[in-house]
């Protein structure tokens, strides 16, 4: 192995380089799926978030919300769950803070199906009920746990994860914190089978080792 010798004459250059690198900042995480470069109109003004008001106009109301105090309607979808989010509309003080809070209501035997947040990690705390949670890492290893009131679990950024109410009769309640004001969400089954336009049957058939009839049945069951 080669040995690099630092001579006194090189030291000032290395110190300057270290100072420059110490001030370098990585790009901010995107708050949308994509941002197409407008090469024809260089004067377009878009921001990664929302414009800020005059700080002198800030008030307590910008930093508080009751959005998570009311239960949602988990029976409104086929999976039996409802997610209520804080956002810039109900909590303007979130803007640029990189945070979102979510209330998750799940009916008995309800499921928050396997999904991912491309722009956020998530930590979930069970408040009521018995909730099974888990995520799959990039080596297809499953990490899973049963949560009871007061217990927490973390889902790493971008990885497929789920929440399931193990109680068939009583509802469950959880609160999650996410590390982006716009974390994004992709439910795996809907992304695969309900995209517009649809992924070709040949692709789905090969990927999931199923027939065209299976694909049609799945799409019908998902509401397609």
What whole-number distance in Å separates Cα of residue 179 and Cα of residue 155? 11
Paired with 155 in beta bridges are: 122
Residues 183-224 have pLDDT tens digits of 999 999 999 999 999 999 999 999 999 999 999 999 999 987
pTM for the full predicted model? 0.83
Q: State what percent of residues in the chain have pLDDT above 90.
A: 69
Q: Is the predicted pLDDT of residue 17 greater than 70, yes or no?
A: no
- HSE (side-chain half, CA atoms, 13 Å) at 60: 0
Q: Is the predicted pLDDT of residue 32 greater than 60, yes or no?
A: yes
What are the chain's domains?
A: 68-185 (2.60.120.10), 194-224 (no CATH)
The dihedral through the CA atoms of 140, 123, 145, 170 has a sign that is negative
Residues 91-101 have pLDDT tens digits of 999 998 899 99
What whole-number distance in Å separates Cα of residue 146 and Cα of residue 163? 10
Q: What sections of 158-200 are H helices per DSSP? A: 188-193
Q: Which residues contact 164 (CB under 8 A, 6 or more apart)?
A: 106, 109, 110, 111, 112, 131, 132, 133
Confidence at 8, pLDDT banded by 50, 70, 90: low
- Candidates 25, 28, 27; CA nearest to 180 is 28
CB-CB contact of 176 with 146 (8 Å): no
Confidence at 49, pLDDT banded by 50, 70, 90: confident
Q: What is the largest CA-CA distance in the chain?
A: 75
CB-CB contact of 179 with 98 (8 Å): yes
What whole-number distance in Å separates Cα of residue 223 and Cα of residue 73? 19
- Candidates 134, 131, 133; CA nearest to 165 is 131
């Amino acid at each position: 192995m080669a040995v690099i010798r630092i001579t006194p004459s090189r030291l000032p250059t290395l110190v300057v380089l270290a100072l420059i690198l110490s001030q370098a900042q990585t790009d901010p995480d995107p708050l949308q799926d994509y941002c197409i470069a407008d090469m024809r109109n260089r004067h377009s003004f878009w921001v990664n978030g929302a414009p800020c008001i005059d700080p002198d106009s800030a008030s307590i109301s910008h930093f508080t919300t009751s959005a998570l105090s009311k239960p949602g309607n988990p029976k409104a979808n086929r999976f039996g769950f409802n997610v209520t989010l804080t956002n810039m509309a109900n909590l303007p003080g979130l803007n640029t803070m990189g945070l979102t809070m979510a209330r998750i209501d799940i009916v008995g035997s309800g499921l928050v199906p396997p999904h991912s947040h491309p722009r956020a990690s998530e930590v979930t705390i069970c408040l009521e009920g018995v909730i099974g949670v888990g995520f799959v890492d990039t080596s297809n290893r499953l990490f899973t746990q049963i949560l009871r009131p007061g217990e927490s679990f973390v889902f790493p950024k971008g990885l497929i994860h789920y929440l399931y109410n193990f109680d068939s009769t009583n509802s469950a309640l959880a609160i999650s914190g996410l590390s982006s004001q716009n974390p994004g969400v992709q439910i795996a089954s809907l992304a695969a089978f309900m995209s517009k336009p649809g992924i070709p049957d040949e692709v789905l058939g090969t990927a999931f080792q199923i027939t065209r009839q299976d694909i049609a049945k799945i799409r019908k069951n998902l509401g397609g």
